Amino acid sequence: MIEFQEKPYEDEEIFKVLNPIVSTWFKSKFKEFCMPQKYAVLNIHNRQNTLVSAVTGSGKTLTAFLSILNELITLSENNMLENKVYVIYVSPLKALNNDLFFNLETPLHEMERLAGKKFGIKVSVRTGDTTTYEKQKMLKNAPHILVTTPESLALMLSSIKFKELIKNVKYCIIDEIHSLAENKRGVHLSLSLERLQYYCEEEITRIGLSATAEPIEEIAKFLVGDRDCKIVKIDLNKKMDIKVLSPVPDLINTTFEKSHNALYTLLDQLVQQHKTTLIFTNTRSATERVVHHLKEKFPQNYTENIGAHHGSLSKEHRLNIEERLREGKLKVIVCSTSLELGIDIGYIDLVILLGSPKSVARGGQRIGRSGHALHDTIKGRFIVLDRDDLVECAVLLKNLVERKIDKIHIPRNCLDVLAQQIDGIAVTERIHIDSLLRLIKKSYCYSELSKEDFMSIIDYLSGKYISLEDRYVYAKIWYDQETGMIGKKGKLARVIHMTNIGTIPEESFVTVKINDQSIGHIDEAFLEKLKRNDIFVLGGSTYKFLYAKGMVAYVSASPGQKPTIPSWFSEMLPLSFDLANDINRFRKLMREKFELKKSKEEVIKFINDYLYVDENAANAIYEYFKEQFLFSKIPDEKELVVEFFNDEEKKYVVFHSLYGRRVNDVLSRAIAFAVFRSEHKDVDIGISDNGFYICSDKKIQVLKSFSLIKSDELRKVMKLAIENSEILKRRFRHCATRSLMILRRYKGREKRVGRQQVSSMILINAVRRISDDFSILKEARREVLEDLMDIDNASLILKKIENGKIKIKQVATNMPSPFAFNLVLQGYLDVLKMEDRIEFIKRMHSYVIAKINK
Amino acid sequence: MHISKNIEIIDLALYLEKESTLVLGDLHIGYEEFLNKEGVLIPRFQLEDLVKKINNILDRVNPKKIIINGDLKHEFGTISQQEWNDTMKILDLFNNKEIILIKGNHDSILEPIAKKKNIKIKDYFSVNDIYICHGNKIPDDQDFKKSKILIMGHEHPSITFKERKDEKYKCFLKGKWKNKLLIVMPSMNLVTQGSDITKEKLLSPFLQQNIENFEVFAVENKIYDFGKLKDLI
């Protein structure tokens, strides 16, 4: 059962179970137990699974370790500490491991000093960077606390020697569990935990450490499966001082030059008023830009005291920046998203967010990086640069203050990860498929796995899809249908598994070329977003995208043309569905005010009360909504406004569907598909968090096609709509790599990602011939529709339209309405290809022949 | 469809009517095995597809002579048992017919296969005024100089249209090389479509200029005559 720990324990109760040395140490350092400790230490001591959810800096880490150190010290004093691993601590960050190493070592040393003796408690880190020598040492001399990453844990589980070492584990701590639960790395970890439990003689006590996140009960289930768990949810009433700021009073009628200058003046001002400032920019390129401009505009203020931190920088650079930050040598540090998680970054008294963090949880996490000490005030400033951003950040701030946290999505039934983990089990032992399925279904991520899907993975792994004579190449596991046993197949099986483990797709760069001349690189995810004739910026020049071949993007130079797609598109975070709904609710309230002809003062007062924004911001929001109201209609949670207008070339249909891009991706593709099916016309699509548009140079009946899409048939439609898309092909490569169908390292050679992409096209066709529902292809579709996009909520919206809870309102305008501006300017989408191969060549043929004969 | 007088396109092959000769090339047997070694565990369909394709062609024409115009096998190096068996199976389709193997650039180890099947290996084949060679280098023998029609492979031409760059179609090319008529055949490697002539750099010394004036015959469910390449790009 998942239960909340309703009451804190008294400090005396906790001290009663603590070893005198631990108590003395604790009292010498702290006045009293902090909230998470009051709620959780005793539960952990009593070996209850516990999920601690609280903001960073609330003492979570020590909460987890206090009871554990206590137990180990007591064992040590009784000379009962054995040569085995008692505790495994898993963290998503490699850097964090080093950090924690020091944080754990320090208390231990201090306690030893107090006791006047060594306890002999060993702590070791095992990550991808650990040397073979160190690993050998661990085998002989087991660390009692082993700090590791999800990938390294899986490797240990498939290593016969290491498995021996960890079969007596008593505690397992998962740090930053909220960030793992929402992706395949976490899914992979959840199976590793079940594998670990399967080998262990006693029930492991699981401890999850989470930032404030929702749905917390689901995250608890992610931690424990169907076992019992206590949730300790601490809403620390830390004082929050957060504001939305606009660098200029008018966000629309200000020149770029002016707002650019105003932005940096404001940034400098804020930085100078504080001791240390952390700035989040959302993207890597913006991080570089901000550092560059601050240095350029205020050379006297920024020299060695400013640092950039993001994922593309070298590890050495990042570690160096982190260290200087901890030592207090930096005045300001600018990062993309990389400092959201974990590591202790020393004293920060102000966090600035440039642009919306897109979810309340993320906003809270970022702002929580300030005022690290328990009773400090959290101080954050959102700086907005356009009016959509302003409204979004204002509603986000409201939710943050009112602690309405948006829900994360936990991927389930991922067949590629399942394949990799079953392979990992098979290389170390023989197991009956019934016990295997039981083991797997204990993980929350697979609790609803169907026997059919499970068997499809066994079939895939054992090469059943292939003729008997070829099976020796493809079969990864041995499976005896009569006895139901599976096991290792072939001499290379373990090596292949160990060298190809993991779930994070390899970072890969796409070369940009004009004919044969290479002009630079863009990342693969950006290529995913490009559509034909998009103009984008690379190294200061603009180029037009023509087409891609494998890992090469062919472009033509197009100097002076306006970019149609920002180059940071791929890094753009999607707006959370819950936050989107709250913005729609705010739109509704605003619309009512205008419809009731409230005075400007009344409306502004309402905005001020509802959103906690200052006069400037309230004014800007008022003007924005007023313009929209006068120009056309304010869309809201009850009414989906669909706007029709034409420019010189094309007819646009704009859907003001503020549901976040994950939902809009689904709705827009489904409509494009329906238009193609009923009218045989290809259309262009643009999407953003606030809506999408469909456009064409011909007359199209978009709403008629839209009405054909029913919520209960959406999956069927979307399966067809994404079948030929770039995104499915690329995600298929990722899934094929996770399921070991494409090997990154094989027979001692590292394989190039480009090569993999080309061959994955061939692979996807071959797999389709085996079965349209081939497990790994099925998984690629699921990943696209459920993880990348949000088909469930899209279906929910359709249902609401069907039963009249959302009404569709058509509006014709002669230009995009204010709410549609940003969307029409920045929309994008994957090139849509619906037409069948033979149909296409037939059409091309008649077209060309007609042209020639003219 | 006839690509020239007495020369008919039959799917991916050419049939020389007067000579009762079928020309096919660039089969690249073992391509999937090559991908396997690269770490891409692609299931095998190549052999099955190739057998089907060749049988279909042989249902339509009944040649006395078969010319395999180079690159029968994909890899340069050694031959595996699998590839050996596959190659034998393909050659068996032409039982009771005279087979001539023309050397391609991938064919350094044809000898044992040829010996086993008692097949001749040649650098080129010439009959009447037709000269057939792989196309990776320009020959300088007398037969070549006298010939009027050249048939080559090697290039694996395929075509894409700017409306949809991701769909490639295998194609024949017909054009002029000096004063000869040049026909370039698509590959019979059914695993891949080949290289896109609208954008990729062409390999063969025969195709270094004037390519935009070549005529394009795309092969899909039937043959589509698209006229000159320059009208397509």
Nearest-5° Cα angle at A527, A526 to A530 = 95
Q: A547 CA to chain B: closest CA distance, Å?
A: 6
User: Is A464's Cβ below 8 Å from some Cβ in B?
Assistant: no
pLDDT-based confidence at residue A830 (cuts at 50, 70, 90): very low
Q: Which of A416, A534, A549 to substitute to test the interface with B, most B CBs within 10 Å?
A: A549
pLDDT at A551: 74
* Strand partners of residue B224: B218
Q: How far apart are the first and last CA of chain A?
A: 77
Cα-flanking dihedrals φ and ψ of residue A72, to 5°? Answer: -65, -40
Q: Are A162 and A428 in contact (CB under 8 A)?
A: no
Q: Tell whether the model's pLDDT for residue A113 goes beyond 60.
A: yes
**Alpha carbons B30 and B84: distance in angstroms, whole number:** 9
Q: Tell whether the model's pLDDT for residue A277 goes beyond 50.
A: yes
pLDDT at A755: 66
Whether residue A505 has a cis bond before it, omega within 30° of 0: no
**Alpha carbons A336 and A571: distance in angstroms, whole number:** 9
Question: Measured over all CA atoms, what is the biggest interatomic distance in chain B, rounded to whole angstroms?
Answer: 49
Q: Tell whether the model's pLDDT for residue A843 goes beyond 90.
A: no
User: Is A760's Cβ below 8 Å from some Cβ in B?
Assistant: yes
Burial A358-378 (b: 16+ CB within 10 A, else e): bbbbbbbbbbbbbbbeeeeeb
Q: Are A435 and A422 in contact (CB under 8 A)?
A: no
Poorest-pLDDT segment among A454-468, A582-596, A838-852, B184-198: A838-852
From chain A, pick out residues whose CB is under 8 angstroms from the CB of B165.
Answer: 532, 546-549
Q: Are A54 and A234 in contact (CB under 8 A)?
A: yes
- The residue behind tokens 């560059």 is A292
Give the tens place of pLDDT for each residue, A201-220.
Answer: 899 999 999 988 999 999 99
pLDDT at A754: 62
Q: Are B43 and A747 an interchain contact pair (Cβ–Cβ within 8 Å)?
A: no
**Alpha carbons A291 and A331: distance in angstroms, whole number:** 12
Q: What is the mean pLDDT of chain B?
A: 90
The candidate with the shortest Cα–Cα distance to A402, out of A581, A89, A612, A553, is A612
Q: Are B35 and A756 an interchain contact pair (Cβ–Cβ within 8 Å)?
A: no
Q: What percent of chain A has pLDDT over 70?
A: 92
pLDDT at B38: 84
User: Is B195's Cβ below 8 Å from some Cβ in A?
Assistant: no
Nearest-5° Cα angle at A377, A396 to A110 = 125
pLDDT at B44: 87
Concatenated DSSP letters for A143-197? -SEEEE-HHHHHHHHT-HHHHHHTTT--EEEETTHHHHHTSHHHHHHHHHHHHHH
pLDDT at A343: 65
* Strand partners of residue B180: B177
**Alpha carbons A325 and A335: distance in angstroms, whole number:** 13
* Mean per-residue pLDDT, A491-498: 90
Strands A552-557 and A509-514: parallel
Name the residue in chain A with its Cα closest to that of B229: A848
Poorest-pLDDT segment among A299-313, A682-696, B41-55: A299-313
Q: Tell whether the model's pLDDT for residue B121 goes beyond 80.
A: yes
User: Is B37's Cβ below 8 Å from some Cβ in A?
Assistant: yes
Burial A15-49 (b: 16+ CB within 10 A, else e): eebbbebbeebbeeeeeebbbbbbbbbbbbbeebb
Closest by Cβ to A840, choosing from B40, B167, B196: B167
Give the tens place of pLDDT for each residue, A727-783.
Answer: 898 899 999 999 999 988 887 777 666 666 667 788 998 899 889 999 999 999 999
* Mean per-residue pLDDT, A521-550: 72
The CATH number of domain A240-401, selected from 3.30.70.560, 3.40.50.300, 3.90.1170.30, 3.10.620.30: 3.40.50.300
pLDDT-based confidence at residue A829 (cuts at 50, 70, 90): very low
Q: Are A676 and A683 in contact (CB under 8 A)?
A: yes
- The residue behind tokens 């000769």 is B21
* Mean per-residue pLDDT, A40-68: 90
Q: What is the ipTM of this complex?
A: 0.86
Long-range contacts of B114-123 (CB under 8 A, 24+ apart): B116/B88, B117/B88, B117/B91, B119/B91
Q: How far apart are the first and last CA of chain B?
A: 24
From chain B, pick out residues whose CB is under 8 angstroms from the CB of A851.
Answer: 231
Name the residue in chain A with its Cα closest to that of B232: A848
The candidate with the shortest Cα–Cα distance to A724, out of A830, A827, A844, A843, is A830
Question: In Å, how far are A448, A756, B151 from A508, measured between CA atoms?
Answer: 34, 11, 41
User: Is A749's Cβ below 8 Å from some Cβ in B?
Assistant: yes
Q: B127 CA to chain A: closest CA distance, Å?
A: 34
Q: Say how far residue A130 (Cα) sits from the centre of its chain.
A: 27
Q: Are A209 and A175 in contact (CB under 8 A)?
A: yes
Q: Are A473 and B165 an interchain contact pair (Cβ–Cβ within 8 Å)?
A: no
- The residue behind tokens 């006068």 is A630
Q: Which of B28, B41, B158, B193 to substitute to test the interface with A, most A CBs within 10 Å?
A: B41
Q: Tell whether the model's pLDDT for residue A13 goes beyond 50.
A: yes
Q: A776 CA to chain B: closest CA distance, Å?
A: 13
From chain A, pick out residues whose CB is under 8 angstroms from the CB of B163.
Answer: 840, 844
pLDDT-based confidence at residue A647 (cuts at 50, 70, 90): confident
Concatenated DSSP letters for A751-816? PPHHHHHHHHHHHHHHHHHH-TT-HHHHHHHHIIIIIIS-HHHHHHHHHHHHTTSSEEEEEE-SS-
pLDDT-based confidence at residue A540 (cuts at 50, 70, 90): low
Element spanning B184, H or E: strand B180-184
* Mean per-residue pLDDT, A388-395: 94
pLDDT at A811: 94
Closest by Cβ to B163, choosing from A767, A844, A852: A844
From chain A, pick out residues whose CB is under 8 angstroms from the CB of B226.
Answer: 844-845, 848
The candidate with the shortest Cα–Cα distance to B22, out of B30, B14, B11, B33, is B14
Poorest-pLDDT segment among A218-222, A269-273, A293-297: A293-297
From chain B, pick out residues whose CB is under 8 angstroms from the CB of A744.
Answer: 39
Burial B50-67 (b: 16+ CB within 10 A, else e): beebbeebbeeeebebbb
Q: B202 CA to chain A: closest CA distance, Å?
A: 12
Estimate the crossing angle of helix A714-722 against helix A661-679, to 10 degrees: 80
Q: Is A597 exposed, middle or buried (0-12, 13-18, 19+ CB in 10 A)?
A: exposed
**Alpha carbons B207 and B51: distance in angstroms, whole number:** 31
pLDDT at A99: 64
Give the tens place of pLDDT for each residue, B172-221.
Answer: 999 999 999 999 999 999 988 888 888 676 889 999 888 889 999 999 99
Element spanning A284, H or E: helix A284-297
Poorest-pLDDT segment among A692-706, B40-54, B106-120, B178-192: B106-120
Q: Is A298 exposed, middle or buried (0-12, 13-18, 19+ CB in 10 A)?
A: middle
From chain A, pick out residues whose CB is under 8 angstroms from the CB of B224.
Answer: 841-842, 845
User: Is B212's Cβ below 8 Å from some Cβ in A?
Assistant: no
Whole-prediction pTM? 0.90
Q: Are B70 and B153 in contact (CB under 8 A)?
A: yes
Long-range contacts of A472-478 (CB under 8 A, 24+ apart): A473/B36, A473/B41, A474/B41, A474/B43, A476/A423, A476/A426, A476/A740, A477/A422, A477/A423, A477/A426, A478/A426
Q: B42 CA to chain A: closest CA distance, Å?
A: 6
User: Is B202's Cβ below 8 Å from some Cβ in A?
Assistant: no
pLDDT at A145: 95
Q: B216 CA to chain A: closest CA distance, Å?
A: 11
Closest by Cβ to A746, choosing from B39, B167, B192: B39
pLDDT at A821: 83
Q: Tell whether the model's pLDDT for residue A434 goes beyond 90.
A: yes
Q: Are B40 and A852 an interchain contact pair (Cβ–Cβ within 8 Å)?
A: no
Q: Are B43 and A767 an interchain contact pair (Cβ–Cβ within 8 Å)?
A: yes
Poorest-pLDDT segment among A191-200, A775-784, A810-819, B181-190: A810-819
Name the residue in chain A with its Cα closest to that of B217: A845
**Alpha carbons A822 and A699: distance in angstroms, whole number:** 24
Q: Which of B81, B84, B164 to substitute to test the interface with A, most A CBs within 10 Å?
A: B164
Q: Are B43 and A759 an interchain contact pair (Cβ–Cβ within 8 Å)?
A: no
pLDDT-based confidence at residue A542 (cuts at 50, 70, 90): confident
Q: Are A756 and B165 an interchain contact pair (Cβ–Cβ within 8 Å)?
A: no
Q: Domain segments of chain A: what residues?
A: 2-233, 240-401, 415-499, 509-571, 639-839
Q: B221 CA to chain A: closest CA distance, Å?
A: 7
Quickly count: other Cβ atoms within 10 Å of residue A404's Cβ.
15
Residues 67-86 of B with CB under 8 A from A: none
* Mean per-residue pLDDT, A595-605: 95
Nearest-5° Cα angle at A620, A618 to A625 = 95
pLDDT-based confidence at residue A457 (cuts at 50, 70, 90): very high
Give the tens place of pLDDT for each residue, A409-430.
Answer: 999 999 999 999 999 999 999 9
Which 8-state DSSP code applies to residue A40? H
Strands A87-90 and A145-148: parallel
From chain A, pick out residues whose CB is under 8 angstroms from the CB of B43.
Answer: 465-466, 470, 474, 766-767, 770
Q: Are A743 and B41 an interchain contact pair (Cβ–Cβ within 8 Å)?
A: yes
Q: Are A592 and A624 in contact (CB under 8 A)?
A: no
Q: Which domains does chain B have, with CATH numbers?
A: 2-231 (3.60.21)
* Mean per-residue pLDDT, A247-253: 80
pLDDT at A385: 82
**Alpha carbons A788 and A735: distance in angstroms, whole number:** 13
Q: Are A755 and B38 an interchain contact pair (Cβ–Cβ within 8 Å)?
A: yes
* Mean per-residue pLDDT, A556-578: 74
User: Is B220's Cβ below 8 Å from some Cβ in A?
Assistant: yes
Element spanning A853, H or E: helix A837-853
Q: Are A473 and B226 an interchain contact pair (Cβ–Cβ within 8 Å)?
A: no
User: Is A499's Cβ below 8 Å from some Cβ in B?
Assistant: no
Q: Tell whether the model's pLDDT for residue A707 goes beyond 80.
A: yes
Q: What is the mean pLDDT of chain A?
A: 88
The CATH number of domain A2-233, selected from 3.40.50.300, 3.30.70.2860, 3.40.50.20, 3.40.50.920: 3.40.50.300
pLDDT at A850: 79
Q: Tell whether the model's pLDDT for residue A313 goes beyond 80.
A: no
Q: Are B40 and A759 an interchain contact pair (Cβ–Cβ within 8 Å)?
A: yes
Q: Tell whether the model's pLDDT for residue B93 goes beyond 80.
A: yes
Six-digit token pair at A498? Answer: 């160990």
Q: Which of A555, A745, A843, A848 to substitute to test the interface with B, most B CBs within 10 Å?
A: A848
Closest by Cβ to A751, choosing from B38, B166, B167: B38
**Alpha carbons A107 and A98: distance in angstroms, whole number:** 15
pLDDT at B165: 66
Six-digit token pair at A705? Answer: 């096609």
Q: B180 CA to chain A: closest CA distance, Å?
A: 25
* Mean per-residue pLDDT, A480-487: 96
